[in-house]
Amino acid sequence: MRSRSKPLLRTDHVAKSKPRQRRNLAQPQLPFDTMPERIEPALALLKPKAPHGDQWLFELKFDGYRLAIHIEPKSVRILTRGGHDWTERFPTIAEAARKLGVGTAILDGEAVVLDAEGRSDFGALQRSLGGRGGKRASAEAVFYAFDLPYFDGHLLTNAELFVRRPLLTDLLDGGDGGIRLSEEIEGDGDELLVAACAHGLEGLIAKHRDSRYRSGRTGDWLKIKCIQSESFVIIGYEQSSVARGGIGSLLLAATNGTALHHVGSVGTGFREKDAVALRSMLDKLRTKRPAVPIKGKNLVFTQPTLIAEIEFRGWTDDGNLRHASYKGLRELQDNADIYNLGTEA
C-alpha cells in the first residue's frame, strides 16, 4: 500500500501531531481478564462547535466503516459495529493485525480508502467492496485505530483515555501499512476545524482525556463536522422522465424515538450507474402505504429498508434537510446509525 499524505498533519499547517508517549512500565500488574466476544462501541455526539479546554484531545474524523479488530494468538476477527464478521472482506487489514506481534487486543477504529490527498473517501471504500450487497474483498482499505479497549489480557474500558492512548501508540509504533494510528493533533479546536475544512476533510473528533471507554453517546466523545453527513432511511422516490435512472429525488426519513419522521428529499449526488441500480432495488421494495404520512405527485413509496448516507448543510425551519446530496448506500450489516432526531444535538 502506497503511503498517503495527511494534509492537516503537515508541519507547515496549524495542526501538529503530539509527541509519542511511551508506555508507563511502572503501572501495577492487573489480573488477566477474559477477552469479550464483543464490546459495544463508544460513539461521538454531534456538536456544532469544537469544545475548549486542556481536557479535550482532538483527532481527524474519518468517513468509512467503524470496525473492531479482535486479535488472539491463533486468530483475527474483524467485526462491524453491529457485530457482523467481515474478516474476509478486509484481508489487508487482517494480515496487518496478524503481524502486530501482540498476544491479545481489541482495536477500535475505522476502515477507509484514501484519495490522492490522504482524505477518506466513503464512495471509494464502498466501490472497493463491490457496492452495497457486494461480496468483494477490499485490498485498498486501511484501518485507522483510535482506541484500545482490551490489550494483553487486560480489559481497559475502565481506564482513562490518557492511559489507553499511550498503549495504543506504543503498539502501533508509527506504522503506515494496513493498520495505522489515528494521530492526536494539538491546537485550538476552532482553528483545527478551520484547517480541516480548508483541506476538504470530514471534521474533528474531540475526546475527553479523563474519559473511560463507555459504549453509546455519552458525551465523552464529540464530533464536529465540516459538512454534516448522516444516515437516513429511504421511504420512496419521486419519479422523473428526465432524471438519471428515473429518480427525481429520494424521500428520506430519520428516527424520532422508535418512529420514523419525514425529513425531506435528496435529488443530487447520483451517478447514472448508481441511479439505475438504485431504481431497480427500490422497485422491488414498492408498497402502497408510505412508511410515514407524505403526499405529493409522482411519488413511489417503498419499504423502509435501504439506508442512504447523505451530506447536508443544515436544517430548514420546517425540519427538512437543507442542500442535501446523496453519497451512497450503507450496508445493512454495517448497522448504520440512522439519524435520530431525539438524541442528536
d(CA 115, CA 122): 10
Question: Is 286 found in the same domain as 188?
Answer: no
Does the residue 292 lie in any domain?
Answer: yes
DSSP sequence for 61-109 = PP-SEEEEEEEETTEEEEEETTS-B-GGG-HHHHHHHHTS--SSEEEEE
Answer with the one of 195, 225, 255 that is the final residue of a domain: 225
Does the residue 219 lie in any domain?
Answer: yes
Query: Mapping DSSP to helix (H, G, I), strand (E, B) and coil, where does residue 125 land?
Result: helix
Question: Is 259 found in the same domain as 130?
Answer: no
d(CA 219, CA 208): 9
Answer with the one of 162, 192, 225 that is the final residue of a domain: 225
> Looking at residue 38, what is its pLDDT?
94
> Looking at residue 330, what is its pLDDT?
83
| Domain count across the chain | 2
Question: Is 249 found in the same domain as 184?
Answer: no
Which of 230, 185, 178, 180 has its CA nearest to residue 206? 185
Question: Is 244 found in the same domain as 280?
Answer: yes
The CATH number covering residue 92 comes to 3.30.470.30
Question: Is 266 found in the same domain as 136?
Answer: no
Residue length, the chain?
Answer: 345
Question: Is 74 found in the same domain as 22?
Answer: yes
Cell of 332: 445493512
The CATH number covering residue 253 comes to 2.40.50.140
Q: Residue 283 above 60 pLDDT?
A: yes
Does the residue 340 lie in any domain?
Answer: no
> Is residue 61 among the annotated active site residues?
yes
Amino acid at 282: L
Average confidence score pLDDT of the chain? 86
Domain range for residue 28?
A: 7-225
Does the residue 93 lie in any domain?
Answer: yes
> Looking at residue 344, what is its pLDDT?
52
pTM (2 decimals)?
A: 0.73
Does the residue 342 lie in any domain?
Answer: no
> Looking at residue 249, what is its pLDDT?
92
Q: Residue 57 above 50 pLDDT?
A: yes
Question: Is 146 found in the same domain as 85?
Answer: yes
Q: Residue 23 above 80 pLDDT?
A: no
Does the residue 183 lie in any domain?
Answer: yes
Question: Is 216 found in the same domain as 137?
Answer: yes
Does the residue 78 lie in any domain?
Answer: yes
Question: Is 324 found in the same domain as 220?
Answer: no
What b/e sequence results for 305-341 when a residue is b if at least 16 CB atoms lie within 10 Å of its CB, and e otherwise?
ebbbbbbbeeeeeeeebeebbbbbbbbebbbbbbbee
Does the residue 343 lie in any domain?
Answer: no
Question: Is 253 found in the same domain as 200?
Answer: no
Q: What is the DSSP letter of 138?
A: P
Question: Is 46 found in the same domain as 31?
Answer: yes
pLDDT tens-digit series, residues 156-205: 999 999 999 999 999 998 667 899 999 999 899 999 999 998 888 889 99
Q: Which residues contact 189 (CB under 8 A, 6 or more apart)?
A: 49, 50, 51, 52, 56, 58, 204, 206, 224
Of the listed 6, 16, 47, 61, which one is catalytic? 61
Question: Is 83 found in the same domain as 23?
Answer: yes
Provide the percentage of residues in the chain whose pLDDT is more than 90: 56
Answer with the one of 197, 225, 253 that is the final residue of a domain: 225
> Looking at residue 6, what is its pLDDT?
47
